[in-house]
Amino acid sequence: MRSSTWAHLNVRARVCRTVAATTLLLTIAASCTSGPERRDLPDVQIDVPADPSTAAPSEGPAPTVASEIGGLPGRLAVLDASGNLITVSPDGSDEVVLAEVEPGRSEVSQPTWSPDARRVAWVHVEVTEAGAPSASIATAGGDGARPSRARTAVVPFYLSWDPTSSRIAYLGAPSDNAIELGILEVAGRSSGATLDAGQPFYLSWAPDGDQLLVHVGGERLDRLGLDGSTTALGDRPGTFSAPVWSADGKTFVYASADADGQRLVMRDVKAETGRPLVPFEGLIAFVVSPDGERVAFQVLEPERTLPLSVIDVDSGDTVEITDSAIAAFFWSPDSERLLYLDPDPDGEQFWFHWGVWDGRSSFLLPRFVPSLLMAGDYLQFFEQYAQSMSLWSPDGSAFAYPGTSEDGREGIWIQSARPDRAPVLVAEGDFVAWSPA
């Protein structure tokens, strides 16, 4: 399994715990300083067994029919076992190499599809003759056509296309205690100057791509223009990470705090105050459905974790999905299903199940261990990545993920969003993102 840590270049997230003789322990913790911090979250530990085949497999559903995989729409962006960036059809066929790496000399990271599915962006880092890292943001069509590259002053660790697919917001850390936001105008191939800075830093694009909603340093909650101008929303931020600017442009969703406590808020873009959705104590993690009609959330209090729940923003009706502490959750593109990652400790092993809620009921799928890259770089910031990448197929009928099964097979899996289907291994790799179309 390829680690995302490139220690001698000091450009990726560091693994913050030691390697034991028989297990590799990845601690998802806020002390990993090359990415945004998540304060007050408990450590999530993922133990990768040295030989997963020695564990007793749980009973699973029947295999997925091959024709079901072949008929799925879109393409997958994959970081393969060697660290190369490729795109493939959902069944693993029709491979196109977008970027190859030279071990010890270059690295590719953060593959991100544009919203119109016409291009993939990624971070490319090379070692210069002086031994220093040189970074750029590269783009190309999913078939490798029309490549472009623009150098950046920092090594980006996060990319987010704007909804118009014309520019890319990127975050980079020039030092261990600073994060900078830059904007790449893809057509102009210019990375531009730093637009904003602070740590931690979370963002959400406006639908027309001319502004962002930013949550910076735990104290700022602002509208940020592409000229660097800021307008404070006026509310003091609560304990949360990524704010959301709704896809229709009409509302903001964030957490606020005052003398009366904290609450999840939905606010009209033109209003001065917001409508409270959920009061809470501690920290709240939330993801807004693409249609803006529901919000999935979970509250982590100092002594307990409240159920993963979904609230209807119009009626206020709330449905509890599961009462366990969930590692991550993502809406399907059609807003009909919620995908969630449910921990399943089993003695000395630490497994996970994907769960799917369809608006009426939920079911768990065969257990597995996420790839180290997925666990370390993505799952701990899932609320932010829910706005810039998708594991779901464009039609919401299946999803993809990287990991190791109970019988020791490792790579990229496709899972039908049905309880009677088993996952199918389609490619080697540590990371996957499904194109929006």
Alpha-carbon gap, residue 78 to 18, rounded angstroms: 28
pLDDT at 82 over 60: yes
pLDDT at 431 over 60: yes
Q: What percent of the chain has pLDDT over 70?
A: 84
Determine the pLDDT at residue 95: 98
Determine the pLDDT at residue 129: 74
Task: Please write the tens of the pLDDT for every residue from 320-371.
Answer: 999 999 999 999 999 999 999 999 998 888 899 999 999 999 999 999 999 9
pLDDT at 157 over 90: yes
Q: Tell me the CB-side half-sphere exposure of residue 122, using CA atoms within 13 A.
A: 29
Determine the pLDDT at residue 215: 98
Tokens describing residue 298: 């979970």
Q: 137 to each of 3, 149, 337, how far by Cα in Å?
A: 21, 6, 33
Phi, psi of 419 (to 5 degrees): -70, -15
Least confident segment among 16-25, 105-114, 282-291: 16-25
Determine the pLDDT at residue 69: 83
If one counts every other C-beta atom within 10 angstroms of the C-beta of residue 332, the result is 24
- 8 A C-beta contact, residue 387 and residue 381: no
Least confident segment among 25-39, 158-172, 311-325: 25-39
Mean pLDDT of 117-142: 92
Determine the pLDDT at residue 13: 30
Determine the pLDDT at residue 318: 98
Read off the pTM. 0.87
